[in-house]
Amino acid sequence: MGNAAIQSDVERIADVLVIGGGPAGTWAALTAAAQGASVVLVDKGYCGTSGATAPSGTGVWYVEPTEEQQEAAMKSREALGGYLADRGWMKRVLNQTYANMNDLALAGYPYSLDDEGQSYRRSLQGPEYMRLMRKRVKKAGVIIMDHSPALELLADEHGVGGASGVRTETGETWTVKAGAVVIASGGCAFLSKALGCNVLTGDGYLIAAEAGASLSGMEFSNAYGISPTFATVTKTAFYTWATFYYEDGSIIEGAGSQQGRSVIAHTLKTQPVYARLDRATEEMQRWMRAAQPNFFLPFDRLGIDPFTQMFPVTLRLEGTVRGTGGIHLIDESCASAVPGLYAAGDAATRQFICGGFTGGGSHNAAWAMSSGYWAGEAASAYATGLGSRSDRRELKGVSAQGSVSALASTDDVSEWVAAVKREVEPFDINLFRTEATLNQSLGRLNSLWRKVQHALAANAADAVRLREAQAMTATARWMYASALARRESRGMHKRLDYPGTDDAQHYRILTGGLNEVWVKPEAALHRTTEVHER
C-alpha cells in the first residue's frame, strides 16, 4: 500500500464506490444507482448480515410529518445532547426517514400491525430489513463485493478517486477506481463483543483521515451498553423496565435512573450487578418478545426467565457505534472536506440530530437511511460532473503503510489490539474522565501509534487485523484529545474535574491528524434559552 503503483488481482471501474454494506451503505448504493450511476459496494463482511443492524431489531425515528409532532420530536432530545443538534438537519432527517420507511413498505418490508390494524413503522427487524436491502441493491445493478474490506483510499491532487483492499476469502487484492466514494463502514466498538460490532473497528475513520478528512464529536464516543454477562446483546432500552440488584438481592439505588449506567459502572468495579425485568407488565412482556426476539435467545437457551429471575449484567463498550462522533460533514450532501469523499451512517458524525448524547437505535437508524440516501445522491452527481476527466486520473494510495518496512507478527497485532482495549474499556479512563487520566492514556496511545503506524503485514488476513489495530488506536487518540479539549460536562461526555456545563463551550469540536493529533473548536453555536425552553 502507500504511494506505490496500484497493482491488484481484481480491478473495477465505477462512478461510485460505497464502502460498507449496512443500512447507510445500501441506501447510498441504491440511491446512486437510481441516479444512473454505476456502483460498486464493498463490505468487510457479507452485505446483509454484517454490522450492528443486521442481527438486531431497532427502533426508528419515524414521526408523522406534522409541525406539532416534528416539533415535539426535535425538542425531546435537545437538552440531553447539550443543545449541539441542528434543527434544520433534524427536520430533514425526519422527512427523509418518513419517506424511506414508506418506501420500504412499497418494496415489500413486512411491517407488523398495531392494535388498530395499521402498519407499525417505528421499528425494523434487522434480518428482514437488511435481507431486503441487499435484494434491492442487487436488483438495481450494483456490484457487491462481499468479504472485501477496504484498506486505503486512492487519490490524486483533485481528491479521492477509489479505494483498494483485499478479499479475505481468497487473499486476492482488489482496486476500484471511482469518481466518488461513500464511506459507510460504521463506527468503532473496539472489538468489545457487542452484537454485530466486531466488524466495526473505525476503519473508515482512518482511511478518511489519511486522505485529509477531519472528524467531529469524538469526545461523545464513550457509550456503554447494558448486556447480560453471558450474551452480547446490548438492548439497553429494555432495562428501562429492570430493577438492579446486589448479589444478596438488595436493590442498587439509582441504577435504574437516567444516570444509571454510571451507578452500574461504579458498582461493577467492586462487585457483580444483577438485573431483573420485573417492572414489565404481561402486555409489555409480550411486546418485548415480539419486538426484539434476539434479546431473549440467550435467556431461553439457559432456561432463565428474565422477568422473574435475576441475571448478571455488565457494560459493553459501544464507542462511536452508539455515540455521536464520526467523519465531519461540510454540507447537507454529506460531503467531507475532501473532494469526492462522502460519509454516511455511523461513519459520519451524528451531532446534527443527536448533539452530544447517544442516538441509541432510533435516531441512528433514521440517520443511517437518510444520510445514506443523500450521500449516494450527491456522490452520483459529483461523479457525473467529472465526465471523461475521471478516466485520466493517476491515482495513488494515501496510507502511510510501506514507508517503513517493519513486519508485524500475528502476536504483535494481538498485543496492539489488547493495548488499545486497555485504554478505552476501563470506566475510570473513558467514562469517569479527568485531565490526569486522559493525558496519561493519550500518552500511552501516542506511543502505541508510533509502533503500529508504519507496520506491514505478511498476508491478506494479517493486513486486515493490522488495519483494525491502527484504526482503533487512531480513533482512541481522537476521542481522548477531543475529551481533553472539552473542559466541561456536556451530553454523554462527563468530566469529573469539570462537572458543570460551560456556555462558553457551546460549540462542536473538530479533530484529525495522524502523526500529530490536532483539535480545534468549530464556530460557537448561537441559541437563546427562550428558543429551546418555550
Q: End-to-end CA distance of the chain, in Å?
A: 55
Give the span between the Cα atoms of 123 and 110, in whole angstroms.
11
Q: List alpha helices for 202-254, DSSP H.
A: 203-210
pLDDT category of residue 219 using cuts at 50, 70 and 90 = very high
279-288, 368-377, 403-412: which has the highest mean pLDDT? Answer: 368-377
Whether pLDDT at 54 is above 80? yes
- 99 and 38 share one domain: yes
Whether pLDDT at 1 is above 90? no
- Residue 87 is assigned to a structural domain of this protein: yes
pLDDT category of residue 533 using cuts at 50, 70 and 90 = very low
Q: What is the pLDDT of residues 380-435, one digit of tens each?
A: 999 999 986 767 788 999 986 544 456 788 899 999 999 999 999 999 999 999 99
Domain boundary residue among 364, 397, 430? 397
Q: Which of 398, 399, 395 is nearest to 467 (CA)?
A: 399
What is the reported pLDDT for 405? Answer: 53
Among left, alpha and beta (phi > 0; psi -120 to 50; other), residue 371 is: alpha
What is the chain's mean pLDDT, rounded?
Answer: 93
408 or 312: which leads in pLDDT: 312
Residue 343 in 3-state DSSP? strand
221: its cell numbers = 464516543
430: its cell numbers = 473513558
**CATH number of the domain that residue 393 is part of:** 3.50.50.60
- 261 is a catalytic site residue: yes
- 123 and 100 share one domain: yes
Q: What is the pLDDT of residues 70-120, one digit of tens each?
A: 999 999 989 999 999 999 999 999 999 999 999 999 999 999 888 788 899
- Residue 528 is assigned to a structural domain of this protein: no
- Residue 378 is assigned to a structural domain of this protein: yes
| Torsion (CA) 54, 59, 65, 69 in degrees, nearest 10 | -160
Q: Which of 261, 322, 467, 477 is catalytic?
A: 261
Report, in this order, helix, strand and coil percent for the chain, each rounded to 5. 40, 20, 40
Residue 475 in 3-state DSSP? helix
**CATH number of the domain that residue 416 is part of:** 1.20.58.100
- 49 and 183 share one domain: yes
User: Which residues, in sequence order, are CB contacts of 379 under 8 Å at separation 6+?
Assistant: 16, 28, 32, 37, 179, 180, 181, 182, 342
Q: What sign does the dihedral 248-253-256-260 (CA atoms) show? A: negative
- Residue 145 is assigned to a structural domain of this protein: yes
Q: Taking residues 326-344, what's their average pLDDT? A: 98
- 416 and 510 share one domain: yes
Q: Which of 32, 19, 63 is nearest to 365 (CA)?
A: 63
For 163, the enclosing helix (H) or strand (E) is strand 159-166
Give the span between the Cα atoms of 38 and 149, in whole angstroms.
20
Q: Which of 386, 302, 374 is nearest to 340 (CA)?
A: 386
Helix pair 87-106, 67-75: axis angle to 10 deg:
120
What is the reported pLDDT for 7? Answer: 72
What is the reported pLDDT for 493? Answer: 97
- How many helices and strands in the chain, by DSSP H and E? 15, 20
Give the span between the Cα atoms of 133 and 323, in whole angstroms.
25
Q: Specify whether the CB–CB gap between 358 and 224 falls below 8 A.
A: no
480 or 288: which leads in pLDDT: 480
| Domain total in the chain | 3
- 46 and 146 share one domain: yes
- Residue 4 is assigned to a structural domain of this protein: no
- 475 and 338 share one domain: no
- 361 and 506 share one domain: no
Q: What is the pLDDT of residues 124-153, one digit of tens each?
A: 999 999 999 999 999 999 999 999 999 999
Domain boundary residue among 397, 426, 449? 397
Domain boundary residue among 341, 364, 397? 397
The percent of residues above 90 in pLDDT, for the chain, comes to 84
503: its cell numbers = 456556555
The percent of residues above 70 in pLDDT, for the chain, comes to 95
- Residue 298 is assigned to a structural domain of this protein: yes
What is the reported pLDDT for 361? Answer: 81
What is the reported pLDDT for 528? Answer: 36
Q: Taking residues 506-514, what's their average pLDDT? A: 97
- 266 and 358 share one domain: no
What is the reported pLDDT for 529? Answer: 32
- 336 and 192 share one domain: yes
What is the reported pLDDT for 461? Answer: 79
User: Does the predicted TM-score (pTM) go above 0.85?
Assistant: yes
Residue 154 in 3-state DSSP? strand
Give the span between the Cα atoms of 478 and 360, in whole angstroms.
22
Residue 344 in 3-state DSSP? coil
- Residue 130 is assigned to a structural domain of this protein: yes
- 361 and 426 share one domain: no
Q: Taking residues 24-32, what's their average pLDDT? A: 98
- 90 and 179 share one domain: yes
302: its cell numbers = 439457559
User: Which residues, in sequence order, are CB contacts of 481 under 8 Å at separation 6+?
Assistant: 218, 442, 511, 517, 518, 519
Residue 127 in 3-state DSSP? helix
Give the span between the Cα atoms of 440 and 4, in whole angstroms.
37
Q: Taking residues 325-329, what's their average pLDDT? A: 98
**CATH number of the domain that residue 248 is part of:** 3.90.700.10
333 or 401: which leads in pLDDT: 333
Whether pLDDT at 6 is above 80? no
Q: Specify whether the CB–CB gap between 446 and 478 falls below 8 A.
A: no
- Residue 1 is assigned to a structural domain of this protein: no
55: its cell numbers = 442481527
Beta strand spans in 420-500 (E) = 455-456
- 344 and 196 share one domain: yes
- Which range of residues forms the domain containing residue 242? 223-317
